[in-house]
């Protein structure tokens, strides 16, 4: 079933729609926190996946006012580009150092170069796509299998030193995400249907998205805990300060508010620093006063300083 009078299958269109929404959401997050390099690598992955799905669904189509041979070059080009970026993304995004040579040198030699030779230069000369596919996909397919083994070993090596349940599950998920990547070269060789190709190749991006979100949440929690331990009240260790706060049932967000209250910050300044509304700050302060049974900021600081002394 095709959509919008094009050759895009409805399943491809659904994936494109979902990936556009994910891209816009992650882009907004990245613009809010541009130092998050992992999110930047992930954004590029999503963008390449979108280009691959759109061009693979649209091209070649005689109704589009672009020469058919150029459409073929673009369609295969986005597929090769997508396949080429996967190793680099796993090298950077998941810190798999064993992939460095492949990401920087192996991919250009064994994926990008065959594309330029057979799908651009040779195809522009002879116009025989079937012949060019047969010869042009041999090296990329073999290299994809070799690189798949290298990635599996790199993932296993990374998690073998600390093999807790969480890391083990992440390792399995990463392997499952990487496997469809190797299928890109295979699909280029056998010219499978658009539906089969899209379902297989997009499975990897879905798993990677789940991994990325899980890792982002974990890192955010770790960063939050670090903030709790880096700013505290004079004369108290971070651990003692947290213990005193927890004794009164103060939440982690409320602890951050207490730290800023101690610095003498106003409600508006706290709201700006924590990226929340002033009304939310007031509610936090009211809850803190209620839990600690105090009526003002000075009494709150004194109580926390003298608890368990």
CB atoms within 10 A of CB 1: 7
Question: Domain map of the chain by residue range?
Answer: 10-226, 231-306
Residue 66 and residue 36 in contact, taking contact as beta carbons nearer than 8 Å: no
Confidence band, pLDDT 50/70/90 cuts, at residue 286: very high
pLDDT in tens, 241-268: 778 788 888 888 888 888 888 888 888 8
CATH number of 231-306: 1.10.10.10
CA distance 196 to 11: 10
DSSP state of 266: -
**pLDDT for residue 302:** 81
Give one word for 9, left, alpha or beta, with left for phi > 0 and alpha for psi -120 to 50. beta
**pLDDT for residue 289:** 92
Q: Tokens for 32? A: 């809010």
**pLDDT for residue 231:** 54
| CA nearest to 281, candidates 291, 269, 292 | 269
What three-state secondary structure class fits 275?
A: coil
CA distance 247 to 237: 15
CA atoms within 13 A on the CB side of 72: 21
């Amino acid at each position: 079933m095709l959509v919008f009078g094009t050759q895009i299958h409805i399943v491809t269109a659904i994936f494109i729609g979902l990936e556009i929404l994910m891209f816009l959401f992650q882009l907004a997050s990245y613009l809010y926190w541009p130092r998050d390099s992992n999110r930047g690598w992930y954004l590029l992955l999503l963008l390449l996946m979108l280009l691959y799905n759109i061009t693979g669904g649209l091209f070649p189509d005689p109704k589009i006012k672009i020469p058919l041979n150029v459409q073929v070059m673009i369609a295969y080009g986005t597929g090769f580009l997508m396949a080429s970026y996967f190793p680099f993304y796993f090298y950077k995004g998941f810190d798999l150092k064993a992939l460095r040579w492949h990401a920087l040198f192996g991919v250009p030699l064994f994926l990008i170069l065959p594309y330029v030779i057979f799908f651009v230069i040779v195809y522009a000369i002879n116009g025989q796509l079937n012949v060019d596919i047969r010869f042009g996909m041999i090296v990329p397919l073999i290299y994809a299998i070799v690189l798949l083994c290298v990635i599996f070993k790199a993932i296993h090596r990374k998690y073998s030193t600390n093999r807790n349940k969480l890391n083990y599950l992440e390792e399995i998920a990463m392997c499952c995400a990487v496997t469809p990547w190797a299928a890109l070269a295979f699909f280029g060789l056998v010219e499978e249907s658009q539906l089969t190709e899209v379902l297989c190749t997009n499975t990897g991006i879905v798993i990677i998205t789940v991994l990325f979100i899980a890792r982002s949440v974990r890192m955010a929690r770790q960063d939050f805990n670090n903030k709790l331990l880096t700013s505290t009240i004079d004369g108290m260790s971070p651990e003692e300060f947290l213990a005193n706060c927890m004794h009164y049932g103060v939440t982690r967000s409320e602890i951050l508010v207490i730290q800023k209250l101690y610095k003498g910050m106003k409600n508006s300044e706290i709201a700006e620093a924590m990226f929340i509304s002033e009304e939310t700050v007031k509610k936090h302060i009211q809850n803190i006063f209620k839990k600690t049974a105090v009526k003002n900021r000075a009494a709150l600081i004194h109580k926390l300083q003298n608890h368990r002394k």
